[in-house]
């Protein structure tokens, strides 16, 4: 099939009018680019998981008697530290707010082995690159007498559960 390379008569770009050929070209290009863009977006939708696997964010950690006064118990598997002082209980996160490593207990509170962030006993930043203090999680006493921690709910640091 022969392709006519000449402009359609009467439609000149110099005359301020867009030629039919040019407009069809633009439409074709826009259609192809749009389809490519949509395909790319749908690929991202595909690889973004709808359901994720993980541990429950709300769990029980035992009875208050398991944590005598003065306890600072690191529950590494849960990613929290249970603190008990007298009749006051709290659950402090042990996931570093810097880049997500697990902090360990140190003389002055918590210390991160990855990049040297340091926190005091209450999780406040005392050194290193951590941008925020360690969050405190909501802690409640369930009807069966067990301590329940909800990692989805952060509370104001320093607000203890009184037994």
Partner 1 sequence: MSPATPPKASFLTALTDLPKNVWKSIFRNPLPSNDLERSSTSFTNFFLHIHPVKVHKNSLRPGYTLGLGLISFFLFVILIVTGILLMFYYVPSTTQAYDRMLDLRGSVAFGTLLRNMHRWGAHGMVAVVFMHLCRVFFTGSYKKPREFNWVVGVILFLLTLFMSFTGYLLPWDQLAFWAITVGTAIAGYAPVIGKDIQFLLMGGTSVGQEALLRFYVLHVAVLPAVLTLAIAIHFWRIRKDGGLSRAEDADPVVSLEAVPADKASVLEPKKLYGFQGLVRGPLPKVGQIPDNTVFSWPNLFLAELFTFVVTLSAILVLSLLFNAPLEEPVNALHPPNPAKAPWYFLGLQEMVSYSAFWGGIGVPGIFVLLLLGTPYMDRSTKGVGKWFSRDRLLANTIFITFVVANIIFVIIGTFFRGANWAFVTPW
> Which positions touch partner 1 (CB under 8 A)?
44, 47-49, 52-55, 76-77, 98-102, 104, 106, 111-116, 118, 128-129, 131
Q: What's the min distance (Å) between Cβ of 85 and partner 1? A: 25
Of 52, 97, 96, 58, which is closest to residue 78 (Cα–Cα)? Answer: 58
Closer by beta carbon to partner 1, 20 or else 115: 115
In the complex, the smallest distance separating the C-beta of residue 108 from partner 1, rounded to whole angstroms, is 11
How distant, in Å, are the alpha carbons of 5, 7, 33, 137 from that of 14? Answer: 17, 12, 27, 70
Q: Which two tokens stand for residue 42?
A: 């749908």
> Closer to partner 1 at the Cβ: 62 or 116?
116
Token pair 């140190």 in the structure block, residue: 106
Contact 22, 14 (CB under 8 A): no
Nearer to partner 1 by C-beta: 90 or 111? Answer: 111
Cβ neighbours, 10 Å, residue 70:
9
Minimum separation from the CB atom of position 92 to partner 1 (A): 16
Of 84, 110, 78, the closest CA to residue 97 belongs to: 110
| β-bridge partners, 135 | none
Residue 76 CB, nearest approach to partner 1 (Å): 3
CB of 19 or CB of 95, closer to partner 1: 95
């Amino acid at each position: 099939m022969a392709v006519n390379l000449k402009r359609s008569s009467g439609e000149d770009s110099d005359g301020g009018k867009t030629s039919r050929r040019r407009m069809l070209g633009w439409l074709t290009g826009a259609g192809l680019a749009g389809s490519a863009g949509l395909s790319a977006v749908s690929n991202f939708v595909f690889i973004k998981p709808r359901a994720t696997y993980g541990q429950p964010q709300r769990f029980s950690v035992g009875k208050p008697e398991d944590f005598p006064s003065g306890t600072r118990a690191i529950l590494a598997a849960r990613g929290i530290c249970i603190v008990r002082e007298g009749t006051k209980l709290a659950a402090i996160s042990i996931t570093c707010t810097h880049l997500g490593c697990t902090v360990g207990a140190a003389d002055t509170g918590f210390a991160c082995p990855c990049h040297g962030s340091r926190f005091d006993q209450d999780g406040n930043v005392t050194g290193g690159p951590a941008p925020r203090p360690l969050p405190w999680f909501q802690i409640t006493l369930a009807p069966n007498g067990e301590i329940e921690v909800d990692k989805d709910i952060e509370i104001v640091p320093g607000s203890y559960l009184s037994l």
